A and B are shown apart, each in its own frame.
Chain A
C-alpha cells in the first residue's frame, strides 16, 4: 500500500483490474444516465424552445467574442514574434463523461469514461467549461480516475491574471483552494482571477482556476493566507474536457478554434 501511494508501483495491476471493474461501474451508471436522458426526453416543447433560444443567444455571444479573440490571438502572436518569443495556443481536447459511480467517501476524485484506448495518460490535465478541474491519477483501458484540484494531494501552479503574481494553489480546504507561500506584501486582492501559469509543464497556461475569495495578512507572518474559490463546477459537472497540451487541435467536433489567418 505504501508502494502504491508513494511510488505508484501497482499502476499496471490497477489498470488490469479496472477492466473487470468497468462493466460494474458502467451498469451502475446506466440508471443515473438513463434518468437524465428520461428527464431530457420528457421536457416540453415550450421548454425546449426556450432552451434553444437561450443557447442560440449564448452561441451568438460566444461566437462574437471568439472573433475578437481570434484577432487578439493573432495580434498577440505578432507582438510576441517581435519580442522573439512565442506561445502555443490551443491544444487537442476530448470530451469525457463522468461515470455516475461512487469513490472513496470525501476523496475528491471522479471516474471518467475514457481510458488508454482513447489516449488518456497519467497526469493529463482535465478542465470543464468554467476552468481547471483536476488531473488524471489512474488510467485503465476504458476508464480513468481524475483527482480534483480540491484534493489535498493536488497542487497547481497558478498566476494572478491581473499582474502575473505566481503562486501554487493547493487543495485540502474543503471546497476552496489555498495559495501557498504568497509573500505578505504580494499584490493580490479579493476578486482577482487566478489562472494556470503552465509552469509545472503539466497544465497548459491560461485556463481559469478560480477567484480570490479572501486574503488574510497576519502581522509578523511572512506569508499571506489566500483562499481561492475554484471556477470549475467541481461538484455538479457531468462532462469534462481532457487536454493534450503538446498537440495542436485536431478535428474535435465543435471544439477546435477557427484557424488564425496569417495576416
Chain B
C-alpha cells in the first residue's frame, strides 16, 4: 500500500513536470522555460535516491525525447548523467541550505544544458541558439527554492521518505 501510493505521488509530479514542459508559451517566454523535469528529478534523487534512480531518469528522458521529437536518447542521456551526479553527492547536497542548493541545482542544469547543447551541435543540422540555450539555467535556479518547498510539503503530506 505504502509503496504503491509512493509510486503514484512520484509519477504524478513527473507528469505535471512533463505537462509544464509541453505547455506552449509565447515565443519570447519559450527560451526561459525552466527545466521542470530535471528539477523534479533532482528533488526525488535527493530525497529518495533509493527509489528514484538512474532507471527512472532514463525512462523519463526517453518519454521527454518522444514528446519533444528530439533525437532519441538526447534527454535520456542528459538526465541520466544529471541523476548520476546528483545521487553520487546526494548526502552532501541534502545538507545545504535552500539558497546554496539552488546554486548547485543551477550548476546541474548547466551540465544538462551543456550535454544537450553538445549533442544537438553534433547530431542535428539545427544548431541550438548559443545564447538562449542557457536561459533555463537562470530560471531553474530562481525557481528551485519554491519547487523544493512545494515538493517537500507534498512528500511530508504523502508521508514518503
Q: Which residues of A contact B86 (CB under 8 A)?
A: none
Given A5-B71, A14-B66, A111-B69, A101 contacting B24 (CB threshold 8 A): yes
Query: What CA separation (Å) do A10 and B129 show in the bound complex?
Result: 27
- Closest partner residue, chain B, to A235 (CB atom): B27
Q: Let me know if B154 is at the binding interface, CB within 8 A.
A: no
Query: How many chain-A residues does the 8 Å CB contact rule pick out?
Result: 35
Query: How many chain-B residues does the 8 Å CB contact rule pick out?
Result: 33
Interface residue from B23, B73, B126 paired with A108 (Cβ < 8 Å)? B126
Interface residue from B15, B31, B66, B125 paired with A152 (Cβ < 8 Å)? B125
Interface string of A1-14 (1 = CB under 8 A from B): 11011000010011
Q: Let me know if A115 is at the binding interface, CB within 8 A.
A: no
Q: Let me know if B111 is at the binding interface, CB within 8 A.
A: no
Interface residue from B67, B70, B73 paired with A24 (Cβ < 8 Å)? B67
B20 smallest CB distance to A (angstroms): 9
Binding site for B on A (CB under 8 A): 1-2, 4-5, 10, 13-14, 17-18, 20-21, 24-25, 27-28, 32, 100-109, 111, 137-138, 140, 145, 151-153, 172
Q: Which residues of B contact A32 (CB under 8 A)?
A: 24
Q: Let me know if B68 is at the binding interface, CB within 8 A.
A: yes
A155 smallest CB distance to B (angstroms): 11
Query: What CA separation (Å) do A1 and B121 show in the bound complex?
Result: 13
